[in-house]
Every structure is written in C-alpha cells, then in structure tokens.
Amino acid sequence: MKRILIYAGLALLLTFPVYLGLANTPIINDWFLYGQGWAAFHPLFVIGHAIGITRNAAIVIGTMFAVSFCLSFAGVAGTHSVARRLSN
C-alpha cells in the first residue's frame, strides 16, 4: 500500500509536465483540428451535459489530465520495476 501511495504521489508531480507534452503533440493537435478528435469525444460530451458540464473544453482538458496521470503512474511504476531488476 505504501508503494502505491509513493507511485501516486510521484505520478501526481509528473502529471502536469506529461499533460503539456500531450497537449503540444502535433498528432493530437491535427486530430482535433480536422474534427476526428471532437467526434471521438462526443460520448463524453453527452455524459458531461447529463451531469451539468456545459463546456466541451472542460471535458477534453479533464480527460487529458486523467490520461496524463495514468501515463505518469505507469511510467513511475515501470521505471521502479526496471531499476529494481537492474539492481539485483
């Protein structure tokens, strides 16, 4: 349990830099620019309107932060696992 909390804390610290990296990726920018990204997020927009979120940007940003946290958590856990195996 202690290890998971440490992973979560480190992942929380890395979430914003990972978010900035994702937000500035040309592939994701082009995906939204040409409309495919908005179509992919449409089910989340419908759910968001059902619970009272009226801005689509808030849904996209929240989702990107959640994805950034998951990527950070996986990166921290993976790095710890590799470092542990290399040290043994």
Once rounded to an integer, what is the mean pLDDT over residues 4-28? 94
26-73 tens-digit pLDDT: 998 888 888 788 888 889 988 888 788 778 888 999 999 999 999 999
Predicted pLDDT of residue 39: 87
Q: What is the DSSP string of the chain?
A: -HHHHHHHHHHHHHHHHHHHHHHT-HHHHHHHHTTHHHHHHHHHHHHHHHHT---HHHHHHHHHHHHHHHHHHHHHHHHHHHHHHHH-
Once rounded to an integer, what is the mean pLDDT over residues 10-25? 94
Predicted pLDDT of residue 19: 95
